[in-house]
Amino acid sequence: MCGRLHVHAADITELLHEFVELIHPGPDNLNAAPTEDLLVLVADPDGTVELRPMRWWLTPRWAKQPSTRYSMFNAKSETAATLPSFREAYKHRRCVVPVSGFYEWARRQGYKQAYFLRSTQHTGLLLAGLWERWQGLDAAGQQQQIESFAILTTAASESMQAVHHRQPVLLDQHRAVQWLDPSLPTSELEHYFEPQLVTPIEARPVSSWVNNARNKDPRCEQALAASMLLN
């Protein structure tokens, strides 16, 4: 499960230099929720990579209308290749989501504890994703185009299980380059889905302030207690 993202422009700018020359990471979003627009890395058929805004909630190209009826912000890596909602994107439209971190909620006795997870080096994280382009008519009958994405998830690594039983598919720089390469079939990259961390992760307990997606200020990431080291 990956239901909230943390995007701090200063943390991901250096991360993006590997992929694009001109970087305009946009404003900070310290508590990004599904259906919000975020910047993702995509590659054209010739391999040229660009940073493009997309809606975080994948709309299949065959859908009659954009909808949030079904949870389409995550895609399980175990089933994405066969589910009608994701299989075309799985074959042809991969993306990388650059973030400074993400939030997860751990089940404790009688409550859920929110954690803010980020690289121990504060260098940002690269998440594997799938994207789609939907075209149709809006409520006024005007032609509309929506580009949207979902984050691939996998079973949690052994250390991540202290927080949650699922995690996003994490990529290092080399893997991200290959993930964006349109000449490589996804079937050759499926070993990236193994439960693993590509960098040590700091898991910081934070308050329930982050539970409300309207809250975007630094209180979302403020520590309540000492962090756990996941590696």
Q: What is the pLDDT of residues 118-142, one digit of tens each?
A: 999 988 999 999 999 999 877 777 8
Contact of 203 with 146, CB cutoff 8 Å = no
Contact of 123 with 100, CB cutoff 8 Å = no
**CATH value at residue 77:** 3.90.1680.10
Spatial CA neighbour of 192 closest among 127, 101, 131: 127
Spatial CA neighbour of 151 closest among 222, 187, 201, 103: 103
Q: Please indicate, yes or no, if residue 69 is contained in any of the structural domains.
A: yes
What is the total count of domains within the chain?
1
Q: Please indicate, yes or no, if residue 181 is contained in any of the structural domains.
A: yes
- pTM as predicted: 0.95
Q: Give the range of the structural domain holding residue 169, as residue numbers without chain letter.
A: 4-101+122-195
Q: Please indicate, yes or no, if residue 134 is contained in any of the structural domains.
A: yes
Q: What is the pLDDT of residues 40-78, one digit of tens each?
A: 999 999 989 999 999 999 999 988 878 777 779 999 999
Q: Please indicate, yes or no, if residue 65 is contained in any of the structural domains.
A: yes
